[in-house]
Amino acid sequence: MNLPPLVQSFVLHFGEMGSRWGINRTVGQIYALLFVSPAPLCAEEIADSLSISRSNVSMSLRELQAWNLVLLKHKPDDRRDFFTTPDDVWQILRTLAEERKKREVDPTLSVLREILMQRPASDAERYAQERMSDMHTLIEQLTHWYEDVKQLETERLATLLSLGAKVTKLLEAKDRVVSLGRSRRPNPANKS
Amino acid sequence: MNLPPLVQSFVLHFGEMGSRWGINRTVGQIYALLFVSPAPLCAEEIADSLSISRSNVSMSLRELQAWNLVLLKHKPDDRRDFFTTPDDVWQILRTLAEERKKREVDPTLSVLREILMQRPASDAERYAQERMSDMHTLIEQLTHWYEDVKQLETERLATLLSLGAKVTKLLEAKDRVVSLGRSRRPNPANKS
DNA sequence: CAGTGATTTCAGAAATTTCTGAAATTACTG
DNA sequence: CAGTAATTTCAGAAATTTCTGAAATCACTG
């Protein structure tokens, strides 16, 4: 591996992290490399920089494309493919969230729903279903929240983030304001 | 594997999912089994239910304990250990979030900070640092938000979730109200 | 349509991870 | 403190994943 030392640390760390997620080491490294490269790279350059085989690069890029994590660029009069990542880190975050949801959350929800449809044949099964139902409810709540906030422009999302838990203060304030105007209505926020 | 069919589907799915995260298949299966079991199980029972070796169970339980995902129980006059998961799915979610942060986010932040301290020795390194700085900023924002909302009681957290993007409506409303009272102050929410 | 360079595919090699059974350890008990 | 049951450890077997080099495919070009 023949990279500026500072880039190399980054690439190696993402390799490690890659294996801790489902992504493998090489895929993580390639992504990291593309992320910090000022210009798009072609497969050959990636293979050289990371000292891995050309075919490994090919397969790993395919994987990254399946995750929508890389962009394909072309230079005039050059028929090689060049690869980059999106510039906007928020966009990257959105893509990651979306893909992980698609691969992990959605299938889980569908398995849970499937099981919850079935008729329990014993007490053990009845209890198991209750537990799964709790899990299903929680995941659905999280998913709905996600589907909702992902629509927000980045600007607003960032504002919301920086507010953090302080939004609850706002909620309380709103409750008070609303109770002034209307007749008793303890917690209007509870409706879905 | 000798389990009620409905439990078996669940266990198998979590096994699959396990491998997609860093967690391995057996660990995922054991967790799923404990999650839907009405009473705590001992290692032997787990090994039998999942048809895996006793030693594998031992190592996997150790792993789950390192993640704080299982509880140890004891029966009077029985010196075996019995295992369960917490009842509250919100609590489980909190633990998961906390552990993943500890293992994935924190180390990444610290690598990024480390690199950003260094002096770039070339244009390539300078550019790489800019990119890493963007990433660092984003992760810090997310982390701060997380540290903030994780303090909330579950009740409030759930309310916040169910509100979703509608909080921004509230923000706008607040802006209007505040502008009525005070002299011009366009976006008070922006301060960190 | 032969020639060339880029890319992909894929069988098997290499590396890594997971799992097991046997042995060791721990923690009691009579 | 010998005996016993539960548990852990760990070397190597088994399974899985990752990676490579050689061959095939693709997309042009003269």
pLDDT at B20: 86
Residue at minimal CA–C1' distance from D28? A79
Which of A102, A131, A171, A180 should one mutate to test binding to chain B, selecting the residue with the greatest count of B CBs within 10 A? A131
pLDDT at A190: 45
Summarize the confidence of residues A108-126 as an average pLDDT: 97
pLDDT at A171: 74
pLDDT at A172: 74
Q: Which of A21, A37, A159 sits opposite B22 (nearest CB)?
A: A21
Side chain identity at residue B98, one-letter code: E
Summarize the confidence of residues A107-119 as an average pLDDT: 97
Instruction: Assess whether pLDDT exceeds 70 at residue A28.
Output: yes
Instruction: Assess whether pLDDT exceeds 70 at residue B181.
Output: no
Q: Which of A21, A118, A144 sits opposite B164 (nearest CB)?
A: A144
Summarize the confidence of residues A78-94 as an average pLDDT: 95
Q: Residue B3 — pLDDT band, cuts 50, 70, 90? A: very high
pLDDT tens digits for range B85-117: 999 999 999 999 999 999 999 999 999 999 999
Nucleotides of D under 7 A from a protein CB: 5-10, 17-22, 27-28
pLDDT at B190: 45
Side chain identity at residue A49, one-letter code: S
Summarize the confidence of residues A94-116 as an average pLDDT: 96
- Burial of A108-129, coded b for 16+ CB within 10 Å and e otherwise, reads bbebbeebeeeebeeebbebbb
pLDDT at B178: 67
Window A17-56, strand C contacts by Cβ < 7 Å: 19, 42-44, 54-55
pLDDT at B191: 41
Residue at minimal CA–C1' distance from D19? A56
* B55 CA vs C20 C1’ separation (Å): 7
pLDDT at B179: 66
pLDDT tens digits for range A74-83: 998 888 999 9
Instruction: Assess whether pLDDT exceeds 50 at residue B192.
Output: no
Summarize the confidence of residues B8-28 as an average pLDDT: 93
pLDDT at B180: 66
Selected residue with higher pLDDT from B46 and B21: B46
Summarize the confidence of residues A102-128 as an average pLDDT: 97
Contacts of A15 in chain B (CB under 8 A): none
- Alpha carbon of A143 to those of A49, A139, A148: distances in Å? 39, 6, 8
- Chain A residue with the nearest C-alpha to that of B129: A36
Instruction: Assess whether pLDDT exceeds 80 at residue A183.
Output: no
Instruction: Assess whether pLDDT exceeds 50 at residue B29.
Output: yes
pLDDT tens digits for range B54-96: 999 999 999 999 999 999 999 988 889 999 999 999 999 999 9
Q: Residue B168 — pLDDT band, cuts 50, 70, 90? A: confident
Strand D lies under 7 A from the Cβ of residue B61: yes
Instruction: Assess whether pLDDT exceeds 50 at residue A104.
Output: yes
pLDDT at A2: 83
pLDDT at B165: 76
Task: List the single range of A93-102, A137-146, A174-183 with lowest mean pLDDT.
Answer: A174-183
pLDDT at A77: 86
Task: List the single range of A13-17, A99-103, A115-119, B18-22 with lowest mean pLDDT.
Answer: B18-22
Summarize the confidence of residues A126-152 as an average pLDDT: 97
Q: Residue B188 — pLDDT band, cuts 50, 70, 90? A: very low
Q: Residue B39 — pLDDT band, cuts 50, 70, 90? A: very high
The per-residue DSSP string of chain B comes to ----HHHHHHHHHHHHHHHHSSS-HHHHHHHHHHHH-SS-EEHHHHHHHHT--HHHHHHHHHHHHHTT--EEE--TT--S-EEE--S-HHHHHHHHHHHHIIIIIHHHHHHHHHHHHSPP-SHHHHHHHHHHHHHHHHHHHHHHHHHHHTTS-HHHHHHHHHHTTHHHHHHHHHHHHHHHHSS--S-GGG--
